[in-house]
Amino acid sequence: MGIEMCGIVGITGTKQAVSVLINGLERLEYRGYDSAGIYVNDQTGQDYLVKRAGRIANLKSALTPEIQGSAGIGHTRWATHGVPNEINAHPQYSADERFYLVHNGVIENFEQLKQEYLADVKFQSQTDTEVVVQLIDRFVVDYEMDTKSAFLKVLHLISDDSSYAFVLMDRQTPDTLYVSKNKSPLLVGVGDGFNMVASDAVAMLKETHNFMEIEDREVVIVKPSGVVIRDFDGNEMKRDTFRVDMDASAADKGTYPFYMLKEVDEQPVVMRKLVQEYLDTDGSPVIEPELLSRMQQADKLYVVGAGTSYHAGLIGARLFERLTGIPTQVFISSEFAYEQPIMSKKPFFIFLTQSGETADSREVLVNVKKQGWPTLTITNVPKSTLSREATFTLLLHAGPEIAVASTKAYTAQVALQAILAKGLGMAMRKQLAIDFDVKQQLGLVAVGMQAIVDSKDQLESVAARYLAQPRNAFYIGRGIDWSVALESALKLKEISYVQAEGFASGELKHGTIALIEDKTPVIGIITQDRTAGLTRSNLQEVVSRGASVLTIASKHLAQPDDTIVLPDVDELLTPLLSVVPAQLLAYYTSLGKGLDVDKPRNLAKSVTVQ
Ligand code: AGP
């Protein structure tokens, strides 16, 4: 069946394709890592297909020096249906070995296409992709169509609800990449003497900084000498290039053992970057007036996100309500998509998404747009799908986040929502917003984050002592400390596989406390004046049931035996600090267990299926 989330890279021109493809795939490995493959053609009739189950490292070790070419395609896969084995890995190819195809997405009507056109063909894989490539071959060989027409014909036959990013190669036109996309990310990289295509600009940054967008349902012909884009009716589309100035090394691990640790360490820099991008010298937010005016007209803000982004939204809702007085509600995107609540009269939607590609969130955006409501996407990836499709975009400027466990994107989302809430509150002349010195506070946050990341040794030994053995753990807190508890627990479970829960500390005694056993770790987050005493009482309740209690407390609320003491910042921004020790505790627990911190089992960075 479908291969829904994966990374694609292709190149044609003067470069050695194999190293470019492998390098690109390594950068895309965050998108999926259970099998990988490349196809290269040396333009003199010699071509090579290499596929392996498992990580890209397996594919690399299968490569021999004679495997060379100047055009090729590569793929790294995260399977949701069909075993992640060599046969199901991409590229898929036609039975006569003329056509090779990499694909991201799901062809919903592949069974029907198979029965209608390919009933006599014996398939070797379980993939919908093989159906597509065999069908292209059928139209070329049996119906004598040229490759471009056959490709277009198949694109027309694919049902509208399907998603795809395709890059096709034909042995008979070996310098040409045939490209199309629908709902799955793909963009062109423009070079000198070569051109490329990939799911994400980071896969091409080593070769070029100039890119070209591809819209849904276009056919793009990529040759060494140029790129031609047409719509499905054959009209040529003019497309400007845009430049991404990011340094390729921004997506490198450098001397870090794992991306996650690098990304945790980068958080103070990201805070300063947001100050620089969004606040002027006197600390006033610099935000598009039209965005502020549309938000001001709203009677309710709807914040939508998944996973960590949803957790950042929980903090954002608090910030918007306090600083602007506009009622704000947060939704898990996959829930909202299927059960739209009764809406207020003038809603305004804020989508939080690090990648800008999350299918669940996009589903909501598409529906909301149909109903004519204004939308803002807060994302880390310029030109990403949700960014392009929303009325407004604000960028996180956090630099590429590669580790599956999101860290700096979360803190950037919280900080940017604080800036936006301040800007909106000021525009509405709300005194609390006027008094909230977000610039000064984010400066304090950056310094505080630095102090926490500098205390790694302490966090490493806490993780070794309390989290290495137990199967279960709890983070508890009230209000925004509870919201951080949810994110902290997600971090721990996704990379260390400890069954962790984030809990409202007052709620524990209403049932879940039954799970507390001797030495169950319970980590209390204590940063809010109003709730500190109550959370401490709740911690006492679990101490008496044998739990090993740890605390993450703000300095002015700290007691002598607190485990981690956070520098003081405004109560609205404490999540930016309290989450950092939790990120590092998760990191060291995973590391201590010898797990692959950046690529936890069963997960992929960008979830482009619903
Ligand atoms: C968390 O560490 C995960 N990476 C995951 O929960 C993620 O936040 C979620 O899949 C949403 O992704 P997005 O922010 O790119 O939309």
Q: What is the 3-state secondary structure (H, E, C) of 380-432?
A: CCCCCHHHHHCCEEEECCCCCCCCCCCCHHHHHHHHHHHHHHHHHHHHCCCHH
- Ligand 1: distance of its center to the CA of 352 in Å? 10
Q: Contacts from 274-282 at CB under 8 Å and sequence distance 24+? A: 274/396, 274/397, 274/412, 274/415, 274/416, 274/419, 274/442, 275/439, 275/442, 275/443, 277/395, 277/397, 278/394, 278/416, 278/419, 279/419, 279/438, 279/439, 279/442
Beta bridge partners of 218: 231
210-245 pLDDT, tens digit each: 999 999 999 999 999 999 999 999 999 999 999 887
User: Do residues 189 and 196 lie in contact, with contact meaning Cβ atoms separated by under 8 Å?
Assistant: yes
Mutate to test the pocket of ligand 1, among 31, 260, 309 (most ligand atoms within 8 A of CB): 309
Fill in the DSSP letter of residue 223: E
Q: Which of 362-366, 419-423, 597-601, 606-610 has the highest mean pLDDT?
A: 419-423
The Cα 7–Cα 33 span in angstroms is: 9
Ligand 1 nearest-atom number relative to CA 410: 8
Ligand 1 nearest-atom number relative to CA 308: 8
**Helix, coil or strand: residue 450:** helix
* Atom 16 of ligand 1: nearest residue by CA position: 353
For all residues of the chain together, what is the average pLDDT? Answer: 94
Residues contacting ligand 1 via CB (< 6 Å): 306-309, 353-355, 358, 361, 404-406, 494, 606-607
Q: Which of 25-29, 81-85, 556-560 has the highest mean pLDDT?
A: 556-560
Report whether pLDDT(1) > 50: no
- Ligand 1: distance of its center to the CA of 120 in Å? 43
Closest residue by Cα to residue 380 from 356, 404, 414, 351: 356
How confident is residue 29, by pLDDT bands cut at 50, 70 and 90? Answer: confident
Mutate to test the pocket of ligand 1, among 200, 304, 308, 330 (most ligand atoms within 8 A of CB): 308
What was the pLDDT predicted at 558? 97
Kind plus residue range of the DSSP H or E element containing 135:
helix 128-141
Q: Half-sphere exposure of residue 461, counting CA atoms within 13 Å on the CB side?
A: 5
What was the pLDDT predicted at 2? 39
What was the pLDDT predicted at 107? 93
- Ligand 1: distance of its center to the CA of 145 in Å? 43
Mutate to test the pocket of ligand 1, among 310, 311, 354 (most ligand atoms within 8 A of CB): 354
337-389 pLDDT, tens digit each: 888 899 999 999 999 999 999 989 999 999 999 999 999 999 999 888 899 99
* Atom 9 of ligand 1: nearest residue by CA position: 307
* Atom 5 of ligand 1: nearest residue by CA position: 307
User: Do residues 484 and 477 lie in contact, with contact meaning Cβ atoms separated by under 8 Å?
Assistant: yes
**Which residues are known to be catalytic?**
6, 605
Mutate to test the pocket of ligand 1, among 310, 365, 406, 413 (most ligand atoms within 8 A of CB): 406
184-193, 248-257, 403-412: least confident range: 248-257
Cis bond before residue 91 (omega within 30° of 0): yes
* Atom 11 of ligand 1: nearest residue by CA position: 306
- Ligand 1: distance of its center to the CA of 406 in Å? 6
Question: How many of the other CB atoms lie within 10 Å of CB of 380?
Answer: 23
What was the pLDDT predicted at 609? 63
Region 28-38 average pLDDT:
83
* Atom 13 of ligand 1: nearest residue by CA position: 353
Report whether pLDDT(293) > 50: yes
Ligand 1 nearest-atom number relative to CA 360: 16
Residue carrying structure tokens 């795939």 = 25
460-489 pLDDT, tens digit each: 999 999 999 999 999 999 999 999 999 999
- Ligand 1: distance of its center to the CA of 409 in Å? 9
The Cα 438–Cα 274 span in angstroms is: 11
Q: Is the dihedral of CA 194, 198, 201, 206 positive or negative?
A: negative
* Atom 6 of ligand 1: nearest residue by CA position: 307
Is the pLDDT higher at 255 or at 529?
529
Kind plus residue range of the DSSP H or E element containing 377:
strand 375-379
The Cα 74–Cα 63 span in angstroms is: 13
263-290 pLDDT, tens digit each: 999 999 999 999 999 999 999 999 999 9
Tokens of 318: 């608090």
Region 149-161 average pLDDT:
96
Report whether pLDDT(436) > 70: yes
* Atom 2 of ligand 1: nearest residue by CA position: 405
- Ligand 1: distance of its center to the CA of 17 in Å? 32
Please state, for a pLDDT cut of 90, what percent of the chain lies above it.
85
Domains assigned to the chain? 7-105+162-245 (3.60.20.10), 259-453 (3.40.50.10490), 455-610 (3.40.50.10490)
Q: Is the dihedral of CA 416, 419, 424, 430 positive or negative?
A: positive
Can you say whether residue 372 is alpha, beta or left, with left for phi > 0 and alpha for psi between -120 and 50 degrees? left
- Ligand 1: distance of its center to the CA of 359 in Å? 11
Q: What is the CA angle 188-193-196, rounded to 5?
A: 20
Is the pLDDT higher at 568 or at 252?
568
Question: How far apart, in Å, are the Cα atoms of 546 and each of 81, 133, 462?
Answer: 43, 60, 18
For the whole model, what pTM was predicted?
0.81
Question: How far apart, in Å, are the Cα atoms of 5 and each of 113, 137, 159, 259, 445?
Answer: 22, 25, 19, 20, 36
Fill in the DSSP letter of residue 230: E
Region 425-439 average pLDDT:
97
- Ligand 1: distance of its center to the CA of 599 in Å? 13
Ligand 1 nearest-atom number relative to CA 606: 15
**Helix, coil or strand: residue 516:** coil
Fill in the DSSP letter of residue 123: P
Instruction: Report helix, strand and coil shares of the chain as percent, to nearest 5.
Output: 40, 25, 35
Residue carrying structure tokens 């109903």 = 371
Ligand 1 nearest-atom number relative to CA 307: 6
